[in-house]
Amino acid sequence: MIPALTNLQPEPVWKHFDKLAAIPRASTKEAAARDYVRTVATKLGLESVQDKVGNLVVRKPARPGREAAPMALLQGHLDMVCEKNEGTVHNFDVDPIKIIRVGEWLKADGTTLGSDNGVGVAAALAVMESDNIAHGPLEFVFTIDEETGLTGAAEFPGGLLKSKYFLNLDNEEIGTICIGCSGGIKTMARRKVGLHPAGAGSAWRIKVSGLKGGHSGVDIHQGRGNALRILGGVLQVLLDRLPVEVAEINGGSAQNAIPREAAAVVLLDPSRESDLKSQVAAAEAGYKADLGGFDSGLQITVEKAERPTRVFDANDAKQTVALLASLHHGVLAMSPDVAELVQTSTNLAVVTTKGDAVEIVTSQRSAIESSMLAAARMVATVCKMAGFEVEHAGKYPGWKPEPNSDIVRKLQEVHKKLFGEPAKLIAMHAGLECGVIGEKYPGMQMASFGPTIESPHSPNERVQIASVEKFWNYLKLVLENL
């Protein structure tokens, strides 16, 4: 076992988390993780079914005496977000996650940890292996490709599941029960840019880094900086004040992550180096003042770069940069019904330069479908005004809260019995697979809970050790009381 996990409780959960940390499981590359789950099920003599896209369902009979209990399912996703700090040497396709302990928390060494949703999957496997939990009949659902758009859940077939209760293990705050989530859609823009041979200037790399990033749903209201918007604003100032030429713009890594880093390569006469650095320094000071304590680690640097052979035509550079500086990022509306819940938002997520094309990926979320679609139209309209072609994809439904459902009542009774008080009921400004799968199973009652995980989708991701034991004890007691 990884040294950081040695002697931690609950051992059945950490044992499987240890195994999962050694298995590369980027989105769409979960085959080895799925094989591990299937191996555990096979050794236990349990039935498993794989659907056409790679989701896995395992069934376990009730403990003797609990056969008449309603069937419940435990669900988690096999994939993880693969983010690393610049300078961290790590290949997510082959390298195990290097877990370290920092006080009462576990994190990874320069990469995402995979506690989202590795702890939930590990807990489900621990229940699968258990012989001392008095549970009713169970189904286990392990989905693929959750992090890049809930693909596994979207393709999950109807008619396969038999459960009355759906327990999603992907919530990220102990003491809370999630009973609703937003829907989402991806809006992508693409524009061909004119290119001409690079002039005689020196090449410089303008880089935005040091931002917190985070989940583009649950962290969208935190006031954190968006590296792409900041870079767009810096480049817009440079194009207005200096004879720079733009060669490439790249940044962000995933549609559901707030971009932490972005960079552009520009050309400028070497005699203007001091002017370039002065303008960038002034821009950095302005953005630091704007972000304040929300994201105090911002850095905007200028460094020598390899000379490109071609650069953008001037008008194409101006329009592309103006779009990045102008596209909205952040909260569009707060919920009038649930305190402190974001209702509608948009995230400027990824920009890439590929040959003579610039591609932009954004995502919009809302608990109200009409608001989500309106936000997507707004983003599309601005992109089209800048000469970009636009398409939408990856639409998924939200999940309407049902605070008076039978499953919520049962979960609250157990929570009060175990912890002395009811859990806080929340709704999530993020897509949860229960909303997507549940739409295909009308009448199935759903809830989501889990341990405390901070800064998912970034290398700052960490899981609170004590919360995992509380989560495990709660899960066991819930299963015994359904």
Dihedrals φ, ψ of 19, to 5°? -65, -45
Q: Identify whether 146 is a catalytic site residue.
A: yes
The tokens for 273 are 């180096």
Q: What angle do CA 202, 205, 211 make, to 5 degrees?
A: 165
336 prior amide bond cis, ω within 30: no
C-alpha dihedral (349, 353, 354, 355), degrees to nearest 10: 170
Beta-carbon-side half-sphere exposure of residue 292 (alpha carbons within 13 Å): 3
3-state helix, strand, coil in the chain (%, to 5): 30, 30, 40
To which residue do tokens 């390298």 refer? 95
Task: Please report the DSSP string for 165-200 in residue order.
Answer: EEEE----STTEEEEEE-EEEEEEEEEE--EEE--S
**Are 205 and 302 within 8 A, CB to CB?**
yes
**Are 59 and 46 within 8 A, CB to CB?**
yes
**Are 373 and 397 within 8 A, CB to CB?**
no
Q: What would you report as the CA-atom Rg of the chain, rounded to the nearest whole angstrom?
A: 24
β-bridge mates for residue 358, sequence order: 191, 353
Instruction: Give the E-state strand segments of 305-356 in sequence order.
Output: 310-312, 330-334, 342-354
To which residue do tokens 């203007």 refer? 272
DSSP 53: T
**Are 207 and 412 within 8 A, CB to CB?**
no
**Are 465 and 105 within 8 A, CB to CB?**
yes
Choose, from 30, 83, 145, 146, the residue flagged as catalytic.
146
Choose, from 18, 30, 79, 316, the residue flagged as catalytic.
79
**Are 108 and 28 within 8 A, CB to CB?**
no
CA 191 to CA 257: how far, in whole Å?
Answer: 23
Sheet holding 105-108, edge to edge: 99-102, 105-108, 462-464, 453-454
| Long-range pairs for 50-53: beta carbons < 8 A, 24 or more residues apart | 51/155, 51/156, 51/157, 51/160, 52/155, 52/157, 53/144, 53/145, 53/151, 53/152, 53/155, 53/156
Burial pattern 221-248, b for ≥16 Cβ within 10 A else e, equals: eeebbbbbbbbbbbbbbbbeeeebbbbb
Give the catalytic positions in this structure: 79, 146
